[in-house]
Each structure stands twice: as C-alpha cells, then as structure tokens.
Structure 1
Amino acid sequence: MTHDPNTDAADAPRSASRRSLLRYGLAAGAATLAGAAGGRVLAANLMRAPASTVPDFPLCLTAAEGAAPTGPLRPLKLAWNASAICTAAAPVAKETGIFARHGLDVDFVNFGSSTEQLLEAIATGKADAGIGMALRWLKPLEQGFDVKITAGVHGGCLRLLGDASAGVTKVSDLKGKTIAISDQASPGKNFFSIYLAERGVDPFKDVEWRQYPLEALPLAIDKGEAQALADADPRTWIWIKESKGKLTEIATNLSEKYADRACCIIGVRGSLIRDERPVATALTRAILEGAHKVGADPELAARTFSGYGGKGSIDDLVAMLNSQDHHHAPVGADLKTQLAAYTDELKLVQVIKPATNSQRFAEKIYADVLTV
C-alpha cells in the first residue's frame, strides 16, 4: 500500500476494514466507579457519557457533548510527543473537551528523550500515562516496567522511502544499499527490518542501517550516502512531497498484512490501574474518543495538532491523517493478538529474546480497563 502526498489530500478517510473495538458500553463499570476511592462525585464525573446510542465505531461518543462535570476534575499527566501527528488524539481530546467531560484535567508532558526514560517516568508516577509506538515500547516493557497497555490508538505513520533516482523503488532494490535512520532502536528500523526479513532481504547482511540526525535523513540521500530512509510522519510525508519525485514510498506500516495493525498504543501506570481503575478507564475511553474524532474530522485534528507546534501545512496534515488508519483502535483479545504478533516479529529481527513466550508476554503487558 503506497500513497502519493500530491494526490492523497483529496482522498476520503480510510474506512474501517473491521470493527475490532469491542462494544463495551459507556456505562459499564458505573457501579465500580461509585464505590471507588474517589467517591460518588468522581464516579459521576468519569461517567457523564450516555450509553443510549452506540455508533458504528464503539466507545467513540463525544461523552455527552455540552454536559459539564458536577465536581472537581481529576488531574493527570499524559506523556506524548508533540512533534508526532500519530498522537493527535491527545490534543484533540483536550481541546474539544473530551477529557473534561470524562472528569479529567489532563496536562501534557512533551517527552523527547529515550523510551526507557518515558516508561520509567510513567512507572514512577512522574506521568500517569503516555501514548507511544508499540515497536518502541515492547523491548523496554520486556524489562519489567510497571506500565500496562490499555488500547491501540491508530495505525500507519511509518514510511520507508527509496531514492527513485538511484533506482530504489521496491524492497528487492534495497539489497546492498544503505538505509538512513535516526535511531538504531527506532520503530522505523524495527518495523522495516521485520518487513524486509519477511520478503527475503536480510536486515543484518543485505542492508546497512546508518544513523543520522533526524532532520538530516533526506540530506544523506541527497549526498549519496544512503539510498533509502525510514521514519515517521509528519516528516516522511513532507520529505517525499518536497523531493519532487526523487523520493518514492516503498512501504508503510499499513502495507499488506499490517493493514489493520495498530502502531500507537496507550500505556498507563500500573499502580493507577490497581488503585484507581475508574480513572484509567476514563482516560482510555477519552483518548479513544479523541482518536475517533481524528478519523471523523481530520481537518479539526490537523488544526489542533498544528496549534501545538506540529510541522506541516493544514492541507498536508489532513492528507497524512487520511492516509493513516484512525478508524481501527484495537482493545481486548484483538489487541493482545497484535501485541503477540509484534513480539514474534521482533524475535525474528533479534530485538525480543527468542525464549519470550509471546502470548504470555502480551497477557502480562495488557490491562483490560474497559470491562467490569
């Protein structure tokens, strides 16, 4: 599956290929909330959303738009990457009042350092939750951080771009070539190592992964030091557009069997789930509603993301969002299946320990906060 940034701006958003988000009622857990430590006022705040109608995309009601909480909002800190459009569900949920309608007062912590530090910040209470890339988080989670994955958010923000002027336009052309990356543990390297390995290109012997500063990736191609690059939107989208045909999209993380695979996930502090499960439930639901709004109104999402300093014109951001999958947010058994699949695939490229049981690992790192 490939996309042309010069034409995709007019495309309609991707329709959901399957309705994998289980129909948990928005009122589920009300009894639990009422008896939680926060008392009935907190329970009322976190459960303002009506359950009278459930649209095709479950859990994505706007939490009783216009309804105001009746008590104090629960403050939370959410770690995110303000430069990554794949996290747009968070600012959309904040700016459209979804968090507040779920009884939450969410502050953002813009985390640009290592994933290990981000997960440690969540595990130790410096942040309560975060949104990040599954292929970035699974290896650190294997080390035992007290962070649980509660939902997938969206799919399709990683792109592998080839130098068309050098004849690199498909996977087989990459043999003997250099791929520019910003980080040897990046989601782009991890995913496309898997993608190449599954298609007969040895990611260790047949290609060289060469690290550059993020903004220098296209420059490495211009200088002839690399013949491909792997990274994420919004940069990859902008680079392919600005290259005026020099760069071409070889693959994305929606290509072929990955079309319904979530790449970004919600991680919540384990102690928050254990001690204040209703809060973790409300936060997960609110982010999922924000994610649905991104898919339903990409222009709103683009303008919101841009307001937080996101790169790209509004038209380009809308086109990016339309090329991604913001209609498929897996939870429950579906998400655990995806996490187990990623685990097996990461073993294939020597990121996850070979002895790791993928099913047990998925069970260990996932927490169901959406059912009673």
Structure 2
Amino acid sequence: MPTTCRAPPTGDHHDRRAPAPRPPAVAPVPAARGRRRGGAAPRLRRERRPGLGPRPRGAVRSRPALRARRGGGAGRALKPIRLAWNATAICTAAAPLAKERGLFARHGLDVEFVNFGGSTEALLEAIATGKADAGIGMALRWLKPLEQGFDVKITAGLHGGCLRLLAAKSAGITDIAGLKGKTIAISDHASPAKNFFGLLLAQAGIDPESGVEWRQYPADLLNLAVEKGEAQALADSDPRTWIWLKDPRFAEVATNLSGSYASRTCCVVAVRGSLIRNDRAAAAALTRAVLEAGHRVHQDPEDAARIFSGYGGKGSVEDLAAMLRSQEHGDRPVGGDLKAQLVLYGEELKQVNVLKRTTDTAKFAERVYADVLS
C-alpha cells in the first residue's frame, strides 16, 4: 500500500502551542564557500538562533525553554544534531518552525542549523563525512549527486511544489510549447527548475537542450534578464518567483503544482547513512519532528511565515504565508509512496540525460531511500 505521512501523532502537546511572538529579523548567515579543487570539504557555517540577545543576569527561563533543555520534560539529555538547510528557501519553513515550537526538543534533539548555499555535491559530501548530520533540499537537485554514491539517505518527502516558470507578457508565451526557440534565464545548469521544466519541454516534444537556450544569471537578477530582453522567460523557485509574479509584466507559464506533478514531492529530508546505521532512533526522531512541523506549516502557514521571516526570509509575512498556502504541505510521502515517486523522477531524469540511461531506477530508489519510521 502507498504510504503518505499525514500529521504524525504527537499527543496532547501537538495542539498546545506556545504564544507565537514574531521573531526579530536577523541578517541571513553567509553561505559556505564552495570546495576548492583538491581540498577538503568546505567548513559549514553554524547558524545562530534568532533571539533577543543575552539574557539579563538573574532572568528566569520560560517554561517552554526549560522543557526544551530537558528534552520535552522527560528528564533526558538532548541529542545534538546538525541540520543543513537553505535559510532563503521558503519551502524549508518546517525546519525553523520545528526548532522554535519545540518539536525537535520534544523528540529529544538539540538541533543546530547549518545554513548552506554552496553546491549540492559539497552539501551532500558534508553530510556524508559528518560535518552535518542531515539536510533538507530539493529532490530534483539531489538525485543526480546521490546517483554518484554519497552515503546519504532520503527518509521523507516534505511538501509538493515551489518551482515556477515565468515569461514576459510581451513575449506572448502562454504554454510550454510557446518556449520553443526562446531563451530561459536560470540560476545554474543543475538547478531543480532547469531539470523540472526540461522534463515538461521533453513531454511537449521539444528537445530541452537544443530546442531552447538556457542562459545562466545570478539568481536575484533573473527578472532583470527578462526585463532587458536578454531572455524571454525565467525558471526558478519561491520566494523569488512568487515575488516576481506580482509584477504585472510577468505571467506564470508552468509550475510543479499542476497536472500529474501536483501530488509529487518537491523537497526531501535526508540523513547521513552512518547516523541511520549507528543511531537509528536519532534519525527517526529528526524525521518525525520535521514531518510534524510540515503538518503545522500546512495547518498554520501564518505562524510558519512569521518564524521563517525571523530567520532572514525574503518577503513580507503576508507574502510568505501566501507562498506556503500555494504549496502542497499537506502531503509528506514516506515508505512505498515516496519510493514510487523517486522511481518516476529517475525515469524522467534519464529521458533528459540527467541520470545515466543505464541506471536501474527501482534499485536506485531502494538505495537512496531509508525507512526509519517503521
């Protein structure tokens, strides 16, 4: 039977939320630099929790803080875990929510965020070699590096949708077929947006390599490339695409929230293989906490948006909440359902020459997925 995780049970505590003060805005943590040729994997930046600064001498900790330190009131020491994520990606809002609402602590974890903006290969190497214990990222960016054999296992899908392809209204592009012969601005040639919309081009009978031109620009300047006429369309992810779509000069041509992809997971949770083998309970606790946080994002996107904004998220709280509502945070696949989706992605990525044509996608899905919840 396909398995989809919907709100893992959390007991009475699940519905007793602490008050949700808006965290103060902080500057995003600088991204880690990429790996130098021939050198060691990059050192990841440890991210400080947004807060109110040093506590005055003699101040008393709040009850939630005391419970978190004690492991949710169970009197146990918390297990330190380093979780790599991208603090600018709204679709990872479950991570800071899990931290700020005490879900990690409730599962016995003391989670330290590692804000990572380097290459996916460097991130996966950092997880595989113990510089981080787990990470949250986009399936269409991770599957190719995982094919190369990193000791990192996907344990859950987190949500569906966050990729959009926008076109200048003046270009007259209204569907995927209208992109033939056009230039599409992207942030990099291994981006999930290029991979996904390349799939849609192939399905429309357009060669994704020769039928369009993919032109690389800095991520924050993709809209300017279209405005200047250097490209007729752009492909990227929220929050940037959501914000650009508010510009009346742009129209949405396609997204991974429609058609057969509406129920397909977009972002995934992945854990270092050695952690799963040596401390399966910790891997399971982390996965459950993130899934529970994903359920809360689905139930209360405004609260998730306020928390994410405090970690440097771009856009107003209202816009961030609207983005979260537009994404599919209600489905968080695990087990056979998630493996089936990984097989589908694998077959599609083979068709556009991202994965090797010789890859056995069923065996590939078995290798890169780990069931830590059964």
Q: Please give the range of the TM-score, normalised by the shorter of the 2 chains.
A: 0.7 to 0.9
1:325 lines up with 2:328 in the alignment: yes
Q: What CA deviation, in whole Å up to 9, does each residue of 1:212-259 have, x standing for no partner?
A: 011110000111010000000000000111x2x211111111220001
Write out aligned runs for 1:339-350 (5 A).
Answer: 339-350=342-353
How far the C-alpha of 1:63 sits from its partner, in A, is 7.6
CA distance in 2, matches of 1:153, 1:69: 27
Q: What is the match of residue 21 of structure 1?
A: 4
2:13 — aligned with what?
64
Could you list the per-position Cα deviations for residues 160-202 of structure 1 after superposition, in whole angstroms to 9, with x for gaps in the alignment? 1111111112112111100000000000000000011111222
Q: Is the 8 A contact 1:21 1:58 kept in 2?
A: no
Opposite residue 142 of structure 1, the aligned amino acid is E
What RMSD over aligned residues (CA atoms) do the two structures have, in Å?
Answer: 1.4
Q: Secondary structure at the match of 1:161?
A: strand
Q: Counterpart in 2 of 1:196?
A: 201
2:131 partner amino acid: K
**Whole-angstrom distance in 2 between the partners of 1:306 and 1:62:** 28
TM-score, normalising length: structure 2: 0.83
**166-175 or 102-111: which moved more?**
166-175
The Cα of 1:209 is off from its aligned counterpart by 0.3
Which runs of 5 or more residues in structure 1 are unaligned?
Answer: 1-18, 23-56
Contact 1:194 1:346 in 2 (8 A): yes
CA contact (8 A) 1:122 1:268 kept: yes
In structure 2, C-alpha distance between the alignment counterparts of 1:69 and 1:83, rounded to whole Å: 34
Secondary structure at the aligned position of 1:261 is classed as coil
Instruction: Specify whether residues 202 and 151 from structure 1 end up closer, same or farther in structure 2 by C-alpha distance, changes over 3 A only.
Output: same
| Structure 2 letter corresponding to 1:21 | T
Does the aligned pair in 1 maintain the 2:83–2:135 contact within 8 Å?
A: yes
Pairing of 1:100-249 with structure 2 (within 5 A)? 100-241=105-246, 243=247, 245-249=248-252
User: Residue 273 of structure 2: which of 267, 270, 275 is its match?
Assistant: 270
Residue 62 of structure 1: how far off its partner (Å): 6.4
State how far apart, in whole Å, the 2-side matches of 1:182 and 1:173 are: 21
Per-residue deviation at 1:98? Answer: 0.3
Question: 2:332 is aligned with what amino acid?
Answer: A
CA separation in 2, counterparts of 1:68 and 1:311?
Answer: 35
Encode CA deviations 1:240-285: one digit per residue, 9 max, x unaligned: 11x2x21111111122000100010001000000000000000000
The one-letter amino acid of 1:86's match is C
**TM-fit CA distance, 1:20:** 4.3
Aligned pairs (5 A) from 1:247-326? 247-326=250-329
CA–CA distance in structure 2, aligned partners of residues 195 and 63 of structure 1 = 44
Give the aligned partner of residue 363 of structure 2.
360
SS at match of 1:100: helix
Q: Secondary structure at the match of 1:280?
A: helix
Residue 98, structure 1, aligned to residue 103, structure 2: yes
Structure-1 separation of matches of 2:195 and 2:140: 7
Partners of 1:202 and 1:148 in 2: CA distance: 32
| Maintained 8 Å contact 2:7/2:295 | no
Does the aligned pair in 2 maintain the 1:20–1:329 contact within 8 Å? no
**Structure 1 residues 62, 157: CA separation in 2 closer, same or farther (over 3 Å shift)?**
farther
Residue aligned with 2:143, SS: helix
User: TM-score, normalised to structure 1's length?
Assistant: 0.83
SS in 2 for 1:260: coil
The answer to whether the Cα contact below 8 Å between 2:7 and 2:292 also exists between their aligned partners in 1 is no
Find the residue that maps to 1:210 and give its secondary structure: strand
SS in 2 for 1:64: helix
Is the Cα–Cα contact under 8 Å of residues 21 and 330 in structure 1 kept in the other structure?
A: yes
Equivalent of residue 341 in structure 2, options 338, 343, 359: 338
Which residue is equivalent to 1:86?
Answer: 91
The verdict on how the C-alpha distance between 1:275 and 1:189 changes in structure 2, with shifts beyond 3 A counting, is: same
Identity of aligned residues (%): 65
Equivalent pair of 2:3/2:336 in contact (CA under 8 Å) = no
What secondary structure, in the 3-state scheme, does the structure 2 residue paired with 1:266 have?
strand
327-336 or 60-69, which deviates more = 60-69
Deviation string 1:9-44 (CA, Å, 9 cap, x unpaired) is: xxxxxxxxxx9425xxxxxxxxxxxxxxxxxxxxxx
- Contact (CA 8 Å) 2:7, 2:291: kept in 1 or not? no
Structure 2 runs not aligned, ≥5 long = 17-71
Contact 2:154 2:268 in 1 (8 A): yes
For 1:134 and 1:107, how far apart are their aligned partners in 2? Answer: 23
Q: Please state if 1:369 is matched with 2:352.
A: no
Give the drift of 1:61. 3.0
Equivalent pair of 1:150/1:368 in contact (CA under 8 Å): yes
Secondary structure at the aligned position of 1:218 is classed as helix
- Greater mean deviation of Cα atoms: 267-276 or 160-169: 160-169
User: What CA distance in whole angstroms lies between the structure 1 residues aligned with 2:332 and 2:261?
Assistant: 14
